[in-house]
Amino acid sequence: MKTTSAASLALVATLLAACGGGGSSGFFPTPSTGTSTSSGGNTTPPASGGTTTTPPVETLPVLGVAVGAALKDCASLTGFNFANTTITAANSIAAGTLTVAGKSVGAHCQVTGSMYSRTSTVDGQNYAVGFEMRLPANWNGRFFYQANGGIDGSVVTATGAVNGGGALDNALNMGFAVISSDAGHQQGTPFFGIDPQARLDYGYQAVAKLTPMAKALIASAYGKGPDRSYFGGCSNGGRHTMVAMSRYPDDYDGFLVGDPGFRLPLAASANIVGAQNYNALATTPGDLGTGFTATERALVSNAVLAKCDALDGATDGLVQDTGACQAAFNLDRDVPTCSGSRDGTCLSADQKQRIGQLFAGALDGNGQKFYSSFPFDAGLGTSGWSTWKFQFSLLLDPGAVAFIWQVPPESPTGFSGSTFTLNSNIDTILAKITATSALYTENSLSFMTPPNPSDLSKLKKRGAKAMVYHGTSDPIFSSDDTQRWYNELMAANGGDASNFARFYRVPGMNHCAGGPTTDQFDMLTPLVNWVEKGEIADSVVASARGTGNAGGVNADVPASWAPDRTRPLCAYPKVARYKGSGDIEKAENFVCQ
């Protein structure tokens, strides 16, 4: 890998923002998928690992079904007046101008504008919270805050894309009024972090500024505000959603969290430690992929499948029982150790030690784990896994750490991402991302992560609901980190949080999409049904995106699978198990246990 220039850093940051903010940033609906629901408050609590749980006894509010309205007049919204807000345009968008999965998105009004325009006294740059809202002609009475991925920095089209991969529909087309924003900066590079206020807007404050404005604009457009409000995104968008669950529980009724960058600064720092270890293993220094080649990754992935695939009753290329797999698989024991040189049929002792430790959790200089473990799963042989470990660790993580989270930030002049990643001391990084100063008064963990994440009592009591999903082959934000949070949330709620928050693991899925997986699903419809009707999704059916899929083909789907394979995504800690008979390609022959 060549030395990273500021220019290439900017390019990749832009690509990431596009990747994380667009089609891969959501969850969503498909005619071929469905949900298994049960009406009423509580379902039987799952028993796991010998732990007995007590079912929650309280009855929580069901908020009632939103009522729609027709858009009054688009062009007149240029006259919308709100504090600290400038509306730049209000344009009628004809049906069919946007499409989703080849289908026409209905007529709507696009309103663009910005809030809190200012010039920074720190870096001299101009900043504002830029946004667009898309207001459907036939509105369903609901508001959707589209939280974007990457480092934000651009106003992604406000379609409300909210499924894992290859959306077959979106929130706008379903009738939601959708907002999207740049979260307070107009740069695709991490250099905005030099401005202290831009850090805070990116972390959580842009949401607080935009939410009341958006609701007022909806009221102006339809003659009434939204009956129900939803918030969702994947990656950094999942982080935004978890932050909103904690900071803004009164403003939103439903939260849809995908592969969250829950403790993003620590995850990025862990990826930097990973890069240093892969570089130590590399046969070509600087080319991290030579430290753990595609052939070797396939070797490990196949060894994981050999030990774990059948644990769920179906030898089908999917490890549904993620927990049992971690006990069953042992890298040191189950992968051959090279007696001679590395040839793709074995791992060296040094590889086993370093890679094993990275899966167990990256260590600081004192040997202390500072981020979560990653589960062994079937998806580590894919490019969706290696890109984050071997390339983005040199291009994205260093810029975010150095400029958005460190106190003080590095100087942009001559900054090299790969040099920063490969030469930095992890203890120095961890000290700087938790530091404050007179200029930077909040540290990165304060402004990036949800405060008191296991205390969602306010959200719970008022009847709001949260659905969270995470791919178990996500290489950058570990599903173990989300699972640890969910376990803490359960503990804080008498051992069971399932009456207001549910966590669904997506076996094989990489970061938000892709991998050998069923990653096409609709979680917004079940979330709305839960919030508004009290119907709880015990499972959500997901489809593989094989040949011919209308939402876009996932090249990682194995050829041995039916291209439209379905599986239930089960509410944790349950896992999907084969019933023992029936078509192994169909979700109906699996049960959540």
Residues in 215-254 that interact with Ca ion by CB under 5 A: none
Place of tokens 């978890």: 242
Q: Which is nearer to Ca ion, 45 or 573 (CB)?
A: 573
Report yes or no: 373 and 464 within 8 Å, Cβ to Cβ.
no
Catalytic residue among 185, 240, 470, 511: 511
Give the list of residues 6+ apart from residue 37 with CB closer than 8 angstroms, or none.
526, 529, 535, 536, 537, 538
Q: Which is nearer to Ca ion, 267 or 308 (CB)?
A: 308
Q: Cα-Cα-Cα-Cα dihedral of 86, 25, 16, 424, to 10°? A: 110
CA 110, distance to chain mean position in Å, is: 26
Give which of 153, 146, 154 is closest to 193, Cα–Cα.
Answer: 153
Report yes or no: 538 and 571 within 8 Å, Cβ to Cβ.
yes
Rounded Cα distance, 71 and 172, in Å: 14
CA 22, distance to chain mean position in Å, is: 12
Report yes or no: 374 and 356 within 8 Å, Cβ to Cβ.
no
Catalytic residue among 229, 235, 393, 444: 235
Q: How far is the CB of 160 from Ca ion (least distance, A)?
A: 33
State residue 418 phi and psi, 5-degree precision: -70, -35
Q: How far is the CB of 515 from Ca ion (least distance, A)?
A: 14
Report yes or no: 233 and 149 within 8 Å, Cβ to Cβ.
yes
- Residue 128 in 3-state DSSP? strand
Report yes or no: 170 and 525 within 8 Å, Cβ to Cβ.
no
- Residue 591 in 3-state DSSP? strand
For 65-99, the three-class secondary structure string (H helix, E strand, C coil) is CCCCEECCCCHHHHHCCCCCEEEEEEEEECCCCCE
Q: Which is nearer to Ca ion, 334 or 535 (CB)?
A: 334
What tokens were used for 426? 């992890």
Q: Which is nearer to Ca ion, 132 or 309 (CB)?
A: 309
Rounded Cα distance, 253 and 245, in Å: 9
For the question of residue 169 being annotated catalytic, the response is: no
> Measured between alpha carbons, how far is residue 328 from residues 192, 304, 318, 593 in Å?
46, 9, 15, 19
Report yes or no: 567 and 318 within 8 Å, Cβ to Cβ.
yes
Q: Which is nearer to Ca ion, 206 or 591 (CB)?
A: 591
Q: How far is the CB of 552 from Ca ion (least distance, A)?
A: 25
**377 is a contact residue toward Ca ion (CB under 5 A):** no
Q: How far is the CB of 315 from Ca ion (least distance, A)?
A: 6
Catalytic residue among 251, 377, 474, 519: 474
Q: Which is nearer to Ca ion, 304 or 422 (CB)?
A: 304
What tokens were used for 323? 């927990």
Q: How far is the CB of 523 from Ca ion (least distance, A)?
A: 22
Q: Which is nearer to Ca ion, 316 or 397 (CB)?
A: 316
For the question of residue 511 being annotated catalytic, the response is: yes
Q: Which is nearer to Ca ion, 93 or 325 (CB)?
A: 325
Q: Which is nearer to Ca ion, 305 or 338 (CB)?
A: 305
- Residue 394 in 3-state DSSP? helix
Residues in contact with Ca ion, counted by CB under 5 A, come to a total of 5
For 456-496, the three-class secondary structure string (H helix, E strand, C coil) is CHHHHHCCCEEEEEEECCCCCCCHHHHHHHHHHHHHCCCCC
What tokens were used for 249? 């529980």
Q: How far is the CB of 543 from Ca ion (least distance, A)?
A: 17
The secondary structure element, H or E, covering residue 146 is strand 142-146
Q: How far is the CB of 356 from Ca ion (least distance, A)?
A: 23
Q: How far is the CB of 17 from Ca ion (least distance, A)?
A: 35
Residues in 296-355 that interact with Ca ion by CB under 5 A: 309, 312, 314, 316, 318
Q: How far is the CB of 51 from Ca ion (least distance, A)?
A: 24
Give the list of residues 6+ apart from residue 310 with CB closer than 8 angstroms, or none.
none
Contact positions toward Ca ion, by CB under 5 A? 309, 312, 314, 316, 318
- Among all residues, which ones are annotated catalytic? 235, 474, 511
